[in-house]
Structure 1
């Protein structure tokens, strides 16, 4: 079986990849990664991911979003609708190129840990809005809350770092494989906090999910790839 992974959430426009992005993506390809969804944290990255998608057509797919927390230190603040308005023309300009909208969400903690304090509200809000196609990345909510998302048709993705916490194992056991995707969230959330994470490490997520569920990594790879293709219709591999 050919190795075909899809990294559904990575930050290729991050400064950590500026010097060697070509090598990083080559390693990912050698690992078996067939497509990467490159998300943004701010509008300043929009053009950068578009350029990456042009440099690596059919491999890097742009995803525009505004992180719910902006700034750092004393300047850290929650994003408001008016913060997005100046950049709406960019969404319009590239609407035919982006595969999804993200990174977006709710963040109720002071330390930018997504959905750890907002999972229930996030899922409830999306259901109220009638959203049926959504990926909750690096999900860390309760299994009972996750099942509400499963019932709504949402998907969940997990980076390599989840293999370090038993709490995530309980969550992964309960979520049906048909609602799971793979991600690295690179350059963050690798096995070692002090080592840059890369898309090529998608195999770590795959193997951990397989171990937790008691199935083969090949099955996890195949099902999660099909899940991603269904979730992101514009992905072509």
Structure 2
């Protein structure tokens, strides 16, 4: 659940989010003070790609950039829609341009929540965008950082069908039996501080082997308090919670994500 030298790895965060725009340096300072050594910073839309690269250049010892097109586009706006192939196509050249800088393809996946993808056509298009990005990850020999909501079984089945061997399923909310299919495939699962206020996740965390569990914040979302901006510094809270659920001490344990 940490790096070999004893620091935390936030396996899934959004450090490019507008919520951090005004005080990013202070956020970074608090992140370092909390013992976080690596921020795996995912993207959701094309507009974030160059931004995460800029942050990587500003903080090369901390920020590890990912590129990905999320299954729901326009989050936080009035134009939220299920992803279309047109959302991915302009991003394709950037995967190649920055192939030596990015550490994973993500945040990608499937979101079959009814109000986002009410029709079979929208779900099929999500699958098309998802599989194209899985192919990119194979071409670049990179792991994938996965979003799955109301689509856990299909997501894991698609990963296996596409021959993906290294995947992190962030904030996984599927059934424990489905999670174990992912464990058997060698996949990892990460959980944010919000699990500290959601006892329903305890059953899932108990069943997933510790060596398949990673830590994330998903900041600025899914923090320990509702409607309060989450930060990477809160990573220790989820570490302590998982240790409590597992009945172990919250010692930092190195669990490599691929």
Q: 1:145 is matched with which residue?
A: 178
- Offset at 1:222? 1.6
- Offset at 1:78? 1.2
Q: Deviations over 1:137-194 (max 9, x none)?
A: 0001100000000000000000000111222100000000110110000000001122
Preserved contact between residue 4 and residue 222 of structure 1 (Cα < 8 Å): no
Q: 1:157 is matched with which residue?
A: 190
- Offset at 1:87? 1.3
Q: Deviations over 1:103-123 (max 9, x none)?
A: 1000000467x5331000000
Detail structure 1 runs of 4+ shifted over 6 Å in the superposition: none
Cα distance in 1 for residues equivalent to 2:211 and 2:98: 30
Stretches of structure 2 lacking an aligned partner (at least 5 in a row): 117-146
- Offset at 1:27? 0.6
- TM-score w.r.t. the length of structure 1 is 0.90
Preserved contact between residue 10 and residue 186 of structure 1 (Cα < 8 Å): yes
Stretches of structure 1 lacking an aligned partner (at least 5 in a row): 232-237
Cα distance in 1 for residues equivalent to 2:85 and 2:188: 25
User: Does residue 211 of structure 1 match 2:244?
Assistant: yes
- Offset at 1:216? 1.1
The aligned length equals: 224
Q: 2:132 is matched with which residue?
A: none
Q: 1:222 is matched with which residue?
A: 253
Cα distance in 1 for residues equivalent to 2:195 and 2:102: 28
- TM-score w.r.t. the length of structure 2 is 0.83
Q: 2:206 is matched with which residue?
A: 173
Cα distance in 2 for residues equivalent to 1:150 and 1:173: 13
Equivalent of 2:100, from 96, 107, 128? 96
